[in-house]
């Protein structure tokens, strides 16, 4: 019911904007992606997986005209606490950091966790820890931009 209501009152583009946190940079994508491993380490995120997505889809016969990198990153302490109390959050893990080219800019984006974190406010310590983690991720994004 809520899903139908949201679709009726909010255009798809607005929904994507609401669920996405993104910043843009004038730096070339190669310069930004080189910064990711060190920035993650400095901010206590482990890089679990890196996808050079434009190469992946091209290898499947579907080349695209932009570079797209996707990083799966994690702060294990927060992830463990979240999965202990809210296992249904597993579908949102690990955190994803997407970096792609768009109209002459480099976009750095992730899921806007603020909306979902309200669902864990019944556990104040976890809410605080997860909010701090998201704020750290946003700072990391600013740092690499």
Q: Which domains, from first to last, does the chain contain?
A: 21-144 (3.30.310.70)
Per-residue pLDDT of the chain (145 residues; tens, 9 = 90+): 666 766 666 667 777 777 889 999 999 999 999 999 999 999 999 999 999 999 999 999 999 999 999 999 999 999 999 999 999 999 999 999 999 999 999 999 999 998 888 888 889 999 999 999 999 999 999 999 9
Residues 106 and 27: beta-carbon distance below 8 Å: yes
Structure-token pair, residue 86? 């809210």
Work out the number of other CB atoms within 10 angstroms of the CB of residue 76. Answer: 12
Instruction: Quote the CA–CA distance of 53 and 67 in Å, as a whole number.
Output: 7
- In this prediction, residue 13 carries a pLDDT of 73
- In this prediction, residue 133 carries a pLDDT of 95
Structure-token pair, residue 97? 């950091």
Residue by residue, what is the 3-state secondary structure of the chain?
A: CHHHHHHHHCCHHHHHHHHEEEEEECCCHHHHHHHHHHHHHHCCCEEEEEEEHHHHHHHCCCCCCCCEEEEEEECHHHHHHHHHHCHHHHHHCCEEEEEEEECCEEEEEEECCHHHHHHHCCCHHHHHHHHHHHHHHHHHHHHHC
């Amino acid at each position: 019911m809520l899903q139908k209501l949201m679709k009726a009152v909010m255009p798809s583009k607005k929904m994507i904007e609401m669920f996405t946190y993104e910043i843009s940079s004038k730096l070339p994508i190669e310069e930004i992606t080189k910064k990711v491993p060190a920035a993650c380490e400095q901010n206590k995120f482990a890089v679990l997986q890196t996808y050079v997505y434009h190469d992946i889809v091209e290898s499947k016969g579907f080349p695209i005209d932009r570079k797209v990198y996707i990083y799966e990153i994690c702060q294990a302490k927060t992830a463990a606490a979240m999965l202990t109390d809210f296992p249904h959050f597993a579908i949102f893990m690990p955190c994803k950091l997407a970096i792609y080219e768009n109209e002459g800019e480099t976009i750095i984006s992730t899921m806007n966790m603020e909306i979902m974190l309200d669902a864990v406010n019944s556990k104040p310590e976890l809410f605080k820890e997860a909010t701090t983690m998201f704020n750290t991720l946003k700072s990391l994004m600013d740092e690499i931009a």
